[in-house]
Amino acid sequence: MAFLSRVASGEVPCDIEVQDAYLSDLSFTHMELDVLLFVKNEAPFGITLKEVTFEITFPVGERIQFLGKGTMGEQSIPADGSVSFTVPVIVENMAILMVLAEFFKTRGASITIKGTAVVDMKLTNLKIPFERTITSDHILESLQKE
């Protein structure tokens, strides 16, 4: 009953967050960022994520530079359970790579990962927004670990 009253009050029984983002590949032609998503289902029944989409952006002065888009298809999440997914995003544009070179030179610069998960609740679909900003220092650390 507590679950139903929470849903009736507009509370979403599912939470999605960007747990991490790290550089998994870097070459002269492209860069691959792996984005780790964590999904927690508080419902007493399994749910289906119909899709997850997000964009990765980087501020350049007063404007926002689009770096890439991540998508994940349908995934099942068990009742009262949680699952992590890694979604690779490939950035393949030399101009963007030049922006990223500036990104790596500027300590404290950051990228933003912002998106929406669509949850199939059988009777309706719920859209759950998520967002996280990650610093260049953190991403550079992922390179040093390899």
Tens of pLDDT, residues 96-127: 666 666 666 666 678 899 999 998 877 788 89
Domains annotated on the chain, with CATH: 14-140 (2.60.40.10)
Helix or strand holding residue 2 (H, E): helix 2-8
Q: Would you say residue 3 has pLDDT above 60? A: no
Give, in order, the Cα–Cα distances in Å from 98 to each of 7, 66, 135. Answer: 46, 13, 17
Is-above-0.85 flag for pTM? no
Q: How many residues does the chain have?
A: 146
Question: What pLDDT shows up at residue 23?
Answer: 83
C-beta of residue 100 within 8 angstroms of C-beta of residue 109: no
Mean pLDDT of 8-28: 80
